[in-house]
């Protein structure tokens, strides 16, 4: 948790978020907070607004109403240039199908954020190798995403999301396409690394076993957060 003056502010907070896509009201006044280093699961039925909430909190889409604050700064009012810098340096994202670049090897995929940040190719590759090792996929370093299993690809995607040391990782159904063993491996790797580096995680899932890895769970229905609780 951050302090700004005497006031304690959450790392990330959405308040009264409203978002419509044409006639579809995806969010109808959703509010949520994420503290530093916290792992928060967002659950709820299909279409309840979970992904839209994540997109608003990550500054990927702007809400029609309401506010998003990151460390006390209004994200929804930032100019695009500052917002994209923040997304690159402070945020990491992992989606259901990893979104690895199909033409690149696992090593090159994981090295990419470091190359974009200005590291030399040699340094980026050394660090990427270490991160593949942490996620148990060093043996797959030379493979392209299509040549890996779903779980290996997701662990590679996690390595890519975490290698820059983000403050928040946004994970939208990161295990949605995996069997239960691969799911467990991905979640164990994510939680272990997040705890070690103090990274907060906003985790969307509709799998109760996956949600159980979180410190806290909020449930959405009809575009709003309807229940808040601590997981087992
Ligand atoms: N880009 C978009 N354009 C049009 N409608 C959208 C868009 N994104 C989301 N929606 C609609 O907004 C509503 C909420 O969608 P959202 O993806 O946020 O829900 P969700 O809880 O994440 O669902 P799921 O679990 O199925 O992924 C749905 O009715 C969806 O069809």
Written as six digits, the tokens of 220 are 């959405």
Q: How big is the chain, counted in residues?
A: 232
Nearest CA to ligand 1 atom 3: 21
Question: Measured in angstroms, how far is the CA atom of residue 21 from the centroid of ligand 1?
Answer: 9
Given the candidates 3.40.718.10, 3.55.10.10, 3.40.50.1820, 3.40.50.300, the CATH classification of the domain at 2-230 is 3.40.50.300
The pLDDT, as a whole number, for residue 228 is 77
Q: What is the pLDDT of residues 109-165, one digit of tens each?
A: 999 999 988 999 999 999 999 999 988 899 999 999 999 998 899 899 999 999 999
Q: Which residues, including other chains, have CB under 8 Å from residue 85's CB and lie 6 or more apart?
A: none
Q: Is the pTM of this model over 0.95?
A: no
The pLDDT, as a whole number, for residue 99 is 82
Please name which of 33, 144, 166, 30 lies closest in space to residue 94, comparing C-alpha atoms.
Answer: 166
22 pLDDT band, cuts 50/70/90, is very high
What is the atom index within ligand 1 of the atom nearest the CA of 19? Answer: 12
Ordered by start, the domain boundaries in the chain are 2-230
Question: Measured in angstroms, how far is the CA atom of residue 47 from the centroid of ligand 1?
Answer: 5
2 pLDDT band, cuts 50/70/90, is low
Q: Is 87 helix (H, G, I), strand (E, B) or coil?
A: helix
Q: What is the pLDDT of residues 40-76, one digit of tens each?
A: 999 999 999 999 999 999 999 999 999 999 998 999 8
Residues with CB under 6 A from ligand 1: 21, 24, 26, 44, 46-52
Asked whether 205 and 173 are in contact (CB, 8 A), the reply is: yes
What is the atom index within ligand 1 of the atom nearest the CA of 55? Answer: 18
The pLDDT, as a whole number, for residue 89 is 87
Q: Which DSSP category does 201 fall into?
A: E
Which strands form 224-230's sheet, in the order they lie side by side? 91-94, 168-172, 200-204, 39-44, 216-221, 224-230
């Amino acid at each position: 948790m951050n302090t700004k003056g005497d006031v304690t502010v959450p790392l990330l907070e959405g308040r009264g978020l409203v978002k419509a896509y044409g006639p579809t009201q995806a969010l109808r006044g959703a509010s949520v907070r994420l503290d530093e280093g916290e792992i928060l699961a967002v659950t709820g039925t299909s279409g309840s607004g979970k992904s839209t909430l994540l997109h608003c909190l990550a500054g990927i889409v702007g809400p029609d109403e309401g506010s998003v604050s990151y460390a006390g700064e209004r994200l929804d009012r930032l100019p695009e240039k500052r917002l994209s810098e923040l997304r690159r340096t402070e945020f990491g994202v992992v989606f259901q199908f990893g979104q690895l670049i199909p033409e690149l090897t696992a090593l090159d995929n994981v090295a990419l954020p470091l190359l974009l940040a200005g590291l030399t190719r040699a340094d980026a590759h050394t660090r990427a190798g270490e991160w593949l090792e942490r996620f148990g996929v060093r043996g797959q370093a030379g493979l392209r995403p299509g040549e890996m299993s779903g779980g290996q690809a997701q662990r590679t995607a996690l390595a890519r999301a975490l290698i820059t040391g983000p403050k928040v990782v946004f994970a939208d159904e990161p295990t949605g396409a995996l069997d239960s063993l691969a799911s467990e491996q991905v979640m164990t790797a994510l939680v272990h690394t997040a705890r070690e580096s103090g990274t907060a995680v906003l985790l969307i899932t509709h799998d109760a076993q996956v949600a159980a890895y979180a410190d806290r769970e909020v449930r959405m229905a009809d575009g709003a957060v309807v229940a808040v609780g601590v997981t087992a």
